[in-house]
């Protein structure tokens, strides 16, 4: 007996749940499929969102000879075997190759397809759960249209589960299956956007209650049939960087609740190193000079977390996140250094003014090194006006104080010493 997830797999676009942004009426992918003029495509998104299903529907709509490979276990020889059929009667209309998990092909394997993709003998539809811009050879990306399949919403999963119940009644058990909406929503929530996972849990729920009269999937059955958490996290995949990015942006945006939520995701993934590194970055990049002691406190929280290890590390980490979220913000430090680095990259560096050059060696005065240097501590307010930057950028301003209490004091200090006031 086929698994329920295979029985439910849609045969036409109208049966696909979710992905309205690419498969809805007049949307790009739908129009391409209906035109039957299929270009090279890359389907990118989480598991269980319909990538393979849509590829199968496309394959059925063309006259091309279909081959399916999974890059996890396929080899260059498999590709050579497919290429060998290109000029035969079997492939008179060309070949459609569906390559699943293309990110597992190395550069050489991906390059072996290029010539045949370019001349149109092979139409490539590939799928990946990882960001294609990080994992797929640029030459293939430039010859393909990329479609992102998004994580399914709870309502989409529920729709797919109800279709699963209808087909299970007809093709698996030949009995009526009653269900509670709350139970289907629970299964959908625990599936974490993965319809295949939801259907597997639904199938478990059906067999768990198969001897009940009538069969009924209630909330207790749903909980019993979904023993594992719905949380998925790949430390090396796209989700890792998305979560870290959102974590930092939530702290930067002073949303303490969102910040704690994304911290919890990272803790659940056991990703202690990434949390600690990101918190140290945030303390300087986003809080910076608005609260300079933040970096010292965060360093202590990070040290404590590393020494404690999980699960106890969650406590100093939460302390640090709450502190940063509720701290005043300033990005003046990162802006200043990035402006300076940009000038260096562009070659805007010039020569060091001669009066600032090292003069601690015999003969330096004969070269004019340091002879006109003015020692600031010998002047009122420990300040004297003199040029420090090279001539070609002598008036450059890298640091712009942000509007917070400390940096406004910096601004006032700079103004006062230049006006020869008491600081």
pLDDT in tens, 233-280: 565 566 778 889 999 999 999 999 999 999 999 998 888 999 999 999
Calculate Rg over the CA atoms of the chain.
Answer: 31
User: Residues 44, 128: contact at Cβ < 8 Å?
Assistant: yes
What percent of the chain is modeled with pLDDT above 70? 94
What does the DSSP 8-state code read for residue 175? S
Tell me where in the chain the CATH 1.10.8.60 domain(s) lie. 154-225
The model's confidence at residue 56, banded by pLDDT at 50, 70 and 90, is confident
How many CA atoms lie less than 13 Å away from 74 in the CB half-sphere?
A: 25
Task: Give the sheet arrangement for strand 122-128, strand by strand.
Answer: 65-70, 95-100, 122-128, 41-44, 145-148
pLDDT of 145 reads 94
Residue with tokens 């406190």: 297
Give me the CATH topology for the region 19-148.
Answer: Rossmann fold (3.40.50)
Distance of CA 251 to the CA centre of its chain: 17
pLDDT of 389 reads 92
User: Residues 150, 19: contact at Cβ < 8 Å?
Assistant: yes
The model's confidence at residue 192, banded by pLDDT at 50, 70 and 90, is confident
Q: Is pLDDT at 423 greater than 50 in this prediction?
A: no
Maximum Cα–Cα distance across the chain: 105
Bridge partners, 99 (sequence order) = 69, 126
What does the DSSP 8-state code read for residue 14? G
Give me the CATH topology for the region 154-225.
Answer: Helicase, Ruva Protein; domain 3 (1.10.8)
Distance CA(173)–CA(183), nearest Å, equals 20
Tell me where in the chain the CATH 3.40.50.300 domain(s) lie. 19-148
End-to-end CA distance of the chain: give it in Å, rounded: 85
Mean pLDDT of 289-302: 96
Tokens of 235: 């430390």
Distance of CA 369 to the CA centre of its chain: 52
Q: Is pLDDT at 48 greater than 90 in this prediction?
A: no
pLDDT of 95 reads 83
Mean pLDDT of 34-46: 91
Domain 350-418 = CATH 1.10.3710: yes
Tell me where in the chain the CATH 1.10.3710 domain(s) lie. 350-418
Closest C-alpha among 185, 170, 184 to residue 216: 184
Q: Is pLDDT at 326 greater than 90 in this prediction?
A: yes
Distance CA(125)–CA(40), nearest Å, equals 6
Mean pLDDT of 400-408: 92
Q: Is pLDDT at 291 greater than 90 in this prediction?
A: yes
Bridge partners, 217 (sequence order) = 179
Give the residue, 405 or 237, on which the prediction is more confident: 405
Distance CA(404)–CA(332), nearest Å, equals 11
Tell me where in the chain the CATH 1.20.272.10 domain(s) lie. 238-325
Phi and psi dihedrals of 137, rounded to 5? -55, 130
Q: Which CATH architecture has domain 238-325?
A: Up-down Bundle (1.20)
């Amino acid at each position: 007996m086929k698994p329920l997830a295979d029985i439910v797999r849609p045969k036409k676009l109208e049966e696909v749940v979710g992905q309205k942004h690419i498969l809805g009426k007049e949307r790009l992918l739908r129009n391409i499929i209906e035109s039957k003029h299929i270009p090279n495509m890359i389907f990118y998104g989480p598991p269980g969102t319909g990538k393979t299903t849509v590829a199968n529907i496309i394959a059925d709509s063309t006259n091309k000879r279909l081959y399916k490979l999974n890059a996890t276990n396929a080899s260059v020889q498999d590709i050579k075997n497919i290429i060998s059929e290109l000029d035969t009667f079997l492939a008179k209309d060309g070949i459609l190759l569906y390559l699943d998990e293309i990110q597992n092909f190395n550069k050489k394997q991906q390059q072996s397809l290029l010539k045949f993709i370019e001349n149109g003998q092979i139409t490539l539809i590939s799928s990946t759960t990882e960001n294609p811009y990080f994992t797929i050879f640029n030459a293939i990306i430039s010859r393909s249209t990329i479609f992102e399949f998004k994580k399914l919403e709870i309502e989409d999963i529920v729709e797919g589960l109800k279709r699963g119940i209808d087909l299970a009644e007809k093709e698996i058990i030949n009995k009526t299956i009653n269900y509670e909406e709350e139970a289907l929503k629970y299964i959908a929530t625990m599936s974490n956007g993965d319809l295949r996972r939801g259907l597997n849990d639904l199938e478990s729920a059906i067999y768990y209650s198969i001897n009940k009269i009538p069969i009924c999937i209630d909330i207790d059955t749903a909980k019993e049939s979904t023993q594992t958490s719905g949380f998925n996290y790949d430390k090396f995949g796209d989700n890792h960087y998305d979560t870290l990015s959102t974590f930092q942006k939530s702290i930067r945006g002073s949303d303490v609740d969102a910040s704690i939520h994304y911290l919890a995701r990272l803790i659940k993934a056991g990703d202690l190193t990434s949390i600690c590194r990101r918190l140290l970055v945030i303390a300087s990049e986003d809080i910076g000079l608005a609260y300079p002691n933040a970096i010292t406190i965060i360093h202590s929280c990070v040290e404590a977390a590393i020494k404690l290890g999980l699960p106890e590390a969650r406590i100093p980490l939460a302390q640090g996140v709450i502190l940063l979220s509720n701290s005043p913000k300033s990005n003046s430090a990162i802006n200043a250094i990035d402006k300076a680095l940009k000038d260096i990259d562009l070659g805007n560096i010039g020569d060091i003014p001669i009066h600032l050059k090292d003069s601690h060696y015999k003969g330096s005065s004969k070269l004019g090194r340091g002879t006109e240097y003015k020692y600031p501590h010998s002047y009122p307010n420990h300040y004297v006006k003199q040029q420090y930057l090279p001539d070609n950028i002598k008036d450059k301003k890298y640091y712009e104080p942000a509007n917070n209490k400390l940096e406004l004091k910096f601004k006032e200090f700079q103004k006062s010493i230049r006006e020869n006031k008491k600081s």
